[in-house]
Structure formats: C-alpha cells, structure tokens
Amino acid sequence: MAALRNLAASFCKPTSLLSRTASVLSVSARYNIVRCMSTGKYEYLLVEKKGAKENVGLITLNRPKALNALCDGLMVELADVLDDFDKDEGIGCLVLTGSTRAFAAGADIKEMQDRTFQDVAGKNFLSAWSRLAANKKPVIAAVNGHALGGGCEIAMMCDIIYAGEKAKFGQPEILLGTIPGAGGTQRLPRVVGKSLAMELVLTGTSISAADALNAGLVSKVYPVDTVVDEAIKTAEKISSNSKMIVAMCKEAVNRSYENTLQEGLLFEKKIFYGTFATNDRKEGMTAFTEKRKANFTDS
Ligand SMILES: C=CC(=O)SCCNC(=O)CCNC(=O)[C@H](O)C(C)(C)COP(=O)(O)OP(=O)(O)OC[C@H]1O[C@@H](n2cnc3c(N)ncnc32)[C@H](O)[C@@H]1OP(=O)(O)O
C-alpha cells in the first residue's frame, strides 16, 4: 500500500523541476538570452488565467511581426511559464495558442541561418523545446493560421489539438535544406501514418484543418474566432477533475506511444491500481453512489 501511495504521490510532484530549470538556464546563458524574471512580464508571450474558476492557464505566443517564429528567447520563456503553471495548484489545464494568422511559423530561420553544426550540436540547440512535451498538466493547442515546422511540432507536443477552420499544418524544413528537429519525423507518422507524414516532410507542403481532422492530427475544428474559447471550455472540464488522477491518466495515454500493447496494458493496470491509493478515487466513487458532485482534493 505504501508503494502505491508513493506511486500516486509522484504524479503530483513537479519532478525534475530543478533539472529542467537548470537546462533552461544553461540554454539562456549559452544564447545570451536576457529576460527580467522578477517582473513576471514576458517579451514573447501573453500569460493569463481563464475560466470561471480561473483554473485554466492561457499562454499566447506573441511575436506577431515574425508570425510567432520560435526563437530561443521565446522557447525559454515558454519553459519558464510551464514551470510556473506546474507549481500553481489552482491551475488544472493549459491552453497554448498564437494569433489568427499564425500559431507559429516554425523555428526562427533568421536566428538559425548562421549557426554551425558546432553551434547547434555543441550547445544543444532545441534543449528547451522538450519541456512542453514533458509537461505534467495537460496542454491543449488552439491553432489558427500557420502551424509550420517547429510550430506543427509544438502543437503535436500538446495533448489535444483544436484547429480553426483556416489552420494549416506542415513540415517545410526540407525546403530550407534541413529536416524537422522536434518531432516532425517521429510524432507525425505515429499520428497521421507513414504515407501522409512522408509526403509532408519530403515535399514541404501543408494540409488544411479539415485534412488534419481527417488524418487524426487534430481532434476538432472550429470557426476561427471560437477555437480558443472552445479549448478553454474543454480545459475547464479537465481542470474540474482531480489533478492527480488527470496526471496519471495523461501518463498512461502517453505510454501507449512508447510501449508494446502488452507493456502498455500492464502499465495502465498498475496506474489504475494506483488510483485506489488516492483520496480522490474514493471521493469520486462515493460521490457517485451518494448522487452528488465529487469534491476532489488532489490527494
Ligand atoms: C527546423 C525547424 C523549423 O521549424 S524551420 C522553419 C519552418 N518554417 C518555415 O519554413 C515557414 C517559414 N515562413 C513562411 O514560409 C512564410 O512566412 C509563411 C508561409 C508562414 C507566411 O507567408 P506570408 O507571405 O504571409 O508572410 P511573410 O513570409 O512575409 O512573413 C512575415 C514575417 O515573418 C517572418 N517569418 C515567417 N516565418 C519565419 C520563421 N520561421 N523564422 C523567422 N521569421 C519568420 C518573415 O521573415 C517576415 O518578416 P520580415 O521582417 O517581413 O522579413
């Protein structure tokens, strides 16, 4: 029982926060990124709390002149905000969005233009990018406009993708003489299948929101001006559940990408058993039998 309690508790802890922060700080130092951390203001992001209970963290990429190109400074800020929301016990789910014109037009080509192999490999370029995929709390991408290259990749790092009707998804790196570096050749085929992924990465063309829905890359398509609100509504639903159980459930689904079916089923069963070491599992089932709403305490 103690082991199960420890397992359950581990889903609530902001594990490896120190190592993530250290990695992000070292990236900041290497690329001379300066940001005034004490003001809480961001150069490339807008950060708000949304929902009737203010339990949804909304992160808006805000680099409009460059179509939200993902420069080092932006990615470091994003990692910082994710850390902050991770520690905020009032927040249960995040929404990541951009502008109507662009979710993000990819990694910053102008910033990368003069970098050498030694620069990118030696200084571990893209190290801050893995922070989003490792987030414990679920993240919904609300995508309008261009989601290209790294923009498509950070959307795929999120747990759910909602798209506006005019969204475009693609991996055009091949047109720049390079290849995707943050999941375009790895996550994309797992989601849309090898044939479509291969076509996208080898031709550099993009697909519409409707085609992305058809291929399974996005879960819903909405009119352009409602997609963020719809994502917030879903995030509120997720936030109303136990944060501990939500984290366990997210981890179980993510394991399905890494494991064989048998290993995944075993992992799922252990996590399911682990929920029985929590107060929230007891409360959820008790509330059902007492015909009332569950009052989860994230314990
Ligand atoms: C290795 C990983 C990667 O992610 S590589 C990057 C992959 N992404 C791309 O190749 C997309 C590059 N962008 C475009 O193809 C176009 O900008 C567009 C199709 C997304 C939009 O075209 P449109 O004609 O509507 O706008 P502009 O091209 O004039 O762009 C406006 C403004 O934004 C700058 N910009 C756009 N994308 C990037 C980027 N990825 N990195 C840096 N800057 C970008 C563009 O240069 C314009 O700025 P300006 O000051 O006017 O030059």
Nearest to 241 by CA among 280, 190, 209: 280
Atom of ligand 1 nearest to the CA of 204: 10
Handedness of CA 69, 50, 77, 134 (dihedral sign): negative
pLDDT(30) > 60: no
More confident residue, 257 or 88: 88
Residue 296 lies in a domain: no
Instruction: Please tell me whether residues 235 and 250 are part of one structural domain.
Output: no
Instruction: Please tell me whether residues 178 and 66 are part of one structural domain.
Output: yes
Reported ipTM exceeds the 0.90 cut: yes
Q: Which two tokens stand for residue 145?
A: 């406009």
- HEC string of 187-253 equals HHHHHHCHHHHHHHHHHCCEEEHHHHHHHCCCCEEECHHHHHHHHHHHHHHHHCCCHHHHHHHHHHH
Nearest to 227 by CA among 62, 51, 99, 64: 99
Distance 289 CA to ligand 1 centre (A): 55
Domains contained in the chain, number? 2
Instruction: Please tell me whether residues 183 and 206 are part of one structural domain.
Output: yes
Q: Which of 79, 104, 107, 212 is catalytic?
A: 107
Instruction: Please tell me whether residues 247 and 233 are part of one structural domain.
Output: no
Q: What is the CA radius of gyration of the chain?
A: 20
Q: CATH number, domain at 49? A: 3.90.226.10
Give the residue numbers spanning the domain of 75: 45-239
Instruction: Please tell me whether residues 218 and 272 are part of one structural domain.
Output: no
Position 90 scores a pLDDT of 96
Instruction: Please tell me whether residues 251 and 282 are part of one structural domain.
Output: yes
Cβ of 149 less than 6 Å from ligand 1: yes
Instruction: Please tell me whether residues 84 and 207 are part of one structural domain.
Output: yes
Distance CA 201, CA 70 (A): 19
pLDDT(293) > 90: yes
Query: Which residues share a beta bridge with 97?
Result: 60, 142
pLDDT in tens, 185-239: 999 999 999 999 999 999 999 999 999 999 999 999 999 999 999 999 999 999 9
DSSP strand pairing (56-61 vs 45-50): antiparallel
